[in-house]
Structure 1
Amino acid sequence: MTRLIRTLCAFAVAIWSGAAGSAWAGSQDGVLLTVRLAGEESAPVTFTRSELEALGETSFETETIWTTGTQTFSGVSLLALTTHLGVSEGVLQARAINDYMVEVPVSDAVEGGPIIAYERNGAEMSVRSKGPLWLVYPYDSNPAYKTEAVYSRSIWQLDRIDVQQ
């Protein structure tokens, strides 16, 4: 009986893990990021990987406090995303798949600033490796990016943003 219970539990965990993993990797239509604009009654804006790429891909190399060695990140710049959305002020409430939330001032969206990375070292990021999206700053390019405030904004497993103005 104990063996049967263990087998059933293992089976249930395997099914749950597969279902949760699929939901976190993006919906079936490939949506990776959902953005809700402040005061908008319309549907949220959604982005697939190809739609994010269409905004212009950018890359940089940097070390992080969460990884070992220099990493290459590729994604869409926060500036390109906010410009595309027509957002020039306010706060971005960036949320992860587990509902963890950080507030990022729109003023962080500058040329040569943070990106919403969808690749690290040339590969898509799995949920286990901080993906599918990670708001990452070019920490090595500017000492101002090596602060606790900026580190706290570097949210991984990002899947949605609420714009607050």
Structure 2
Amino acid sequence: MTPAFLTRSLLGAYALAVNMTTSALGQDVIPLQVTTADTDAVAIEVSLETLESLDQTTFTTTTIWTDGDVQFSGVSLKALLAYLDLDGQSLEMVALNDYAVSMPVAELEDGAPILATRMNGETMSVRDKGPYWVVFPYDSDPKYSTETNYARSIWQLNRLKVVD
């Protein structure tokens, strides 16, 4: 091999490694963007570390999208809004692919739904419904196993908007 070929090969391998590392890290460090009715500009960016530093709710449930029992952990949406000192009439939730759903703030409970940051103890990659997934304890009460709550169970969530 010529030195120039070897140098190009090493640089190419380095670039591939950096790109793969950035992609892998990028999936788990996407901040949650929170806006209010006053502005469409991002008012607050909440990191995964901040979300996981708040009081966590953990439960095991089955879902219509996964196989068997799955353990979810994360902060309740009600607790997150209290932490951010935000209130309003409804919460608009938007995924990375722009799927959107709304939920009345009055229907948020202390333990449900949660903004899951972990599934079976692992942070969720974008490829596996992350970075954040709104989840209810579907098996704990029939009120959580409704079409309305299934529609609200948005995954790949990255934006919240609190609306008056």
Shift in Å, 1:25: 2.0
1:106 paired to 2:108: no
1:133 paired to 2:135: no
Alignment of 1:74-85 (within 5 A): 74-85=73-84
Taking the aligned partners of 2:150 and 2:40, their CA distance within structure 1 comes to 33
Residue deviations 1:52-76 (CA, integer Å, cap 9, x gap): 1222122111110100111000111
Taking the aligned partners of 1:84 and 1:149, their CA distance within structure 2 comes to 26
Taking the aligned partners of 2:40 and 2:154, their CA distance within structure 1 comes to 27
User: Which AA in structure 1 matches 2:119?
Assistant: R
Shift in Å, 1:160: 0.7
Higher CA-based Rg: 2
Residue matched to 1:8:
none
Residue matched to 1:155:
154
Q: Percent identity?
A: 43
Taking the aligned partners of 1:147 and 1:47, their CA distance within structure 2 comes to 29
Taking the aligned partners of 1:41 and 1:128, their CA distance within structure 2 comes to 27
Which stretch has the larger CA shift, 114-123 or 78-87? 78-87
Shift in Å, 1:89: 3.5
Shift in Å, 1:23: 9.5
Which stretch has the larger CA shift, 85-94 or 106-115? 85-94
1:96 paired to 2:95: yes
1:54 paired to 2:53: yes
Taking the aligned partners of 1:131 and 1:73, their CA distance within structure 2 comes to 12
**TM-score normalised according to structure 1 size:** 0.79
Taking the aligned partners of 2:97 and 2:104, their CA distance within structure 1 comes to 21
Residue matched to 2:116:
117
SS at match of 1:83: helix
Which stretch has the larger CA shift, 104-113 or 130-139? 104-113
CA contact (8 A) 1:31 1:46 kept: no
TM-align CA RMSD: 2.5
Shift in Å, 1:21: 5.1
User: Which AA in structure 2 matches 1:93?
Assistant: E
Question: Structure 1 164/24 Cα, relative in aligned 2: closer, same or farther at 3 Å?
Answer: farther
Corresponding residue pairs, total? 147
Alignment of 1:4-23 (within 5 A): none
Question: Structure 1 25/148 Cα, relative in aligned 2: closer, same or farther at 3 Å?
Answer: same
**TM-score normalised according to structure 2 size:** 0.79
Shift in Å, 1:134: 0.3
User: Which AA in structure 2 matches 1:36?
Assistant: T
